[in-house]
A and B are shown apart, each in its own frame.
Chain A
């Protein structure tokens, strides 16, 4: 923590000395650093800054602002960044509803936006834009991959559950799209619900053989603890959003045995990932989450494109981004025609780590080269 602030300060100082140089690149980061769910934003930021630091470049300035998970605030911060600070690239937004409020106007004004997390379907489909790149995933990817995995593993009667809001219904639709079978039941919970006794009783009462759920953040913690004490014996599956390293520590033993899909795992074996995980632990003294990996990849994509062109030369810089010529921590990485990733999705299982605390372990590949279904609606 202390390190990063000193590093940020260093960037600010160096930039104020070098303001006259036209080649400097300014990146604005709007992310969630306070309130509920702020560990996502903190990890995106820390991963992003780690990549910059490892690159050793001192001509890239990053301005960071907290959106407190408020769409209106994110919107006005983006205007400030573009009009007052004249940034070349914007990034950082965690939540889909904030991305929808910010991204279309940013890209229309000619500024590049690279998403390190949110991937709403509209931005992948009918509202896609040549200045918008998603470096993380389209929102359906992880849920769909789990559908494919569970069918492959021979689960025939899954019951599926998500909060009753757009990302929740999208998650279940994405799951069903690649599961391609009948589900025993669909449960919609309330957004921010904390008590799941009613749902657990229904699940027990059904004749399901497995449970898939999408309950991001605190909702997942509450659910899994109550699930454990209910004595229902059924394998559970989900997307990584309910099983990042920080959440499963708060869940404790109740998370053990759960399988989840992720675009990245810290024990994925490749050179870029090894240097990322090692560097992250050295700098911040904790295991990185997938959000940190996404932030790290986003920064490295930008750095790779800067090798060829400056963002002022928009066409050349866009081409360089499209090439995605960087070493991703998730192995192979390339963009589809709508500038969203085509990537492998992995399966991880929560196990008891060496220190007795739960942790994720890579157990296989759920689906290879998954691509979102919206690219056909995208006209660029």
Chain B
């Protein structure tokens, strides 16, 4: 249990956290501004990854692919909002869950229909492979550092967007009082479409970036979606700041738990049993974290509508 291992695992946790933030920020904005539970958010993640894989394969450029992936996710998001989501704002949450769950099925089978059931190939470009040596002789993949950088850049950009621009002002107004900003003459319908497409684009970006590291396949978005929901519940629904802190918290706790819980149990149990118990407990850890936080702060760490 060395210090370099701990540093490396902390970086891994932060990297997982920044990617979760890209997912969670869109989800929390949509929930905060429009009051909509969107289960199909994981599908935008998948759309982004598939579009990036397809365009990267045909152009040979990862960056063009990435741009195409974000654009595709934003377009699909806008279309979904215009065609389906728009009819759901005044419905109860259960209807929203049912309808967006149906969207998951449609997107999954649609993707399988177009691209087939085999996973697609997508890897980071050659100039992002390899690793750097950090202080303490820790070797760390360049691509993961880039992911952390992208996540931080997006977080700053979102902060500026929301606190300094007119669009951000409207988003904040929409969070506090939806009816009133409509009455003040803001085109609510357009605002909703823009926010929804923005969230979808961020999910698509996360899917593309993570897809290059993992695998691009049907159903890749749903496990991340569950984690993203945990993040926004912990952070407080509707709060970007909460999403950022929640994502980092979940990322670090999940990663460190997976490494150190089995080691902890090994101090007083036989190794094979300890890894079994430790791994099972590590899988539950973030949900335990969520339960504890909700017990003390029922609306999450930074509830937007307090």
**A-to-B contact residues, CB < 8 Å:** 34-36, 38-39, 42, 164, 169, 185-190, 192, 194-195, 197-199, 201-202, 204-205, 218, 221-222, 225-226, 228-231, 246-247, 249-252, 254
Contacts and interface: CB of A to CB of B under 8 A. Distances in A.
A352 B71 CA distance: 34
A38 B214 CA distance: 19
Given A231-B141, A246-B118, A201 B259 contact: yes
A194 B283 CA distance: 13
27 contacts: A38-B117, A39-B117, A164-B279, A188-B276, A190-B279, A190-B282, A190-B283, A194-B214, A194-B215, A195-B16, A197-B15, A197-B144, A198-B12, A202-B5, A205-B2, A218-B215, A221-B214, A222-B213, A225-B215, A226-B213, A229-B130, A229-B131, A231-B141, A246-B118, A250-B121, A250-B217, A252-B123
Interface of B: 2, 5, 8-9, 12, 15-16, 108-109, 112, 117-121, 123-124, 129-131, 139, 141-144, 210, 212-220, 223-224, 255, 258-259, 262, 271-272, 275-276, 279-280, 282-283
B255 A192 contact: no
Contacts of B272: 186
Contacts of A230: 131, 139, 141
Contacts, number: 124
A225 B144 CA distance: 12
Contacts of B271: 185-186
A39 B217 CA distance: 12
Given A34-B117, A35-B218, A189-B279, A229 B12 contact: no
Contacts of A231: 130-131, 139, 141
A205 B6 CA distance: 11
A201 B109 contact: no
A42 B139 CA distance: 41
B259 A169 contact: no
Nearest to A190: B283
4 nearest CB pairs, A to B: A221-B215, A222-B214, A197-B12, A188-B279
Which residue among A35, A201, A204, A226 has the maximum number of chain B CB atoms within 10 Å of its CB?
Answer: A201
Contacts of B15: 197
Q: Is the interface of A mostly helix, strand, loop or mixed?
A: helix
Contact of A218 (B112, B129, B220): B220
A222 to B, nearest CB: 4
A225 B214 contact: yes
Contacts of A42: 117
A230 B112 CA distance: 31
A246 B216 CA distance: 13
A201 B12 contact: yes
Q: Which of B108, B131, B275, B282 has its CB near the most chain A CB atoms (within 10 A)? A: B275
Contacts of B121: 249-252
A256 B130 CA distance: 17
Chain B interface helix/strand/loop/mixed? helix
Given A190-B283, A198-B9, 5 more contacts: A169-B276, A195-B213, A225-B212, A231-B131, A250-B215
A42 B5 CA distance: 42
Which of A199, A204, A231, A251 lies at the interface centre, i.e. has the most chain B CB atoms within 10 A of its CB?
A231
Contacts of B16: 195, 197
A39 to B, nearest CB: 5
Contacts of A35: 108, 112, 117, 218-219
A284 to B, nearest CB: 12
Contact of B217 (A36, A190, A229): A36
A306 B51 CA distance: 49
Given A36-B218, A194-B220, A218-B215, A250 B275 contact: no
A185 B108 CA distance: 37
Contacts of B282: 190
B118 A34 contact: no
A36 B123 contact: no
Nearest to A192: B223
B259 A218 contact: no
Contacts of A188: 262, 275-276, 279
A229 B141 contact: yes
Contacts of A192: 223
A34 B223 CA distance: 18
A246 B119 CA distance: 8
A298 B12 CA distance: 45
A188 B265 CA distance: 13
Contact of A229 (B112, B120, B143): B143
Nearest to B256: A198
Contact of B275 (A38, A39, A186, A197): A186
B144 A194 contact: no
B151 to A, nearest CB: 14
Contacts of B210: 194
B12 A164 contact: no
Contact of B112 (A34, A169, A201, A225): A34
A218 B258 contact: no
Contacts of A221: 119, 214-215, 217
Contacts of B119: 218, 221, 246-247, 250
Contacts of B213: 195, 222, 225-226, 229
Nearest to A286: B118
Given A35-B218, A205-B5, A218-B220, A198 B259 contact: yes
Contacts of A195: 12, 16, 213-214
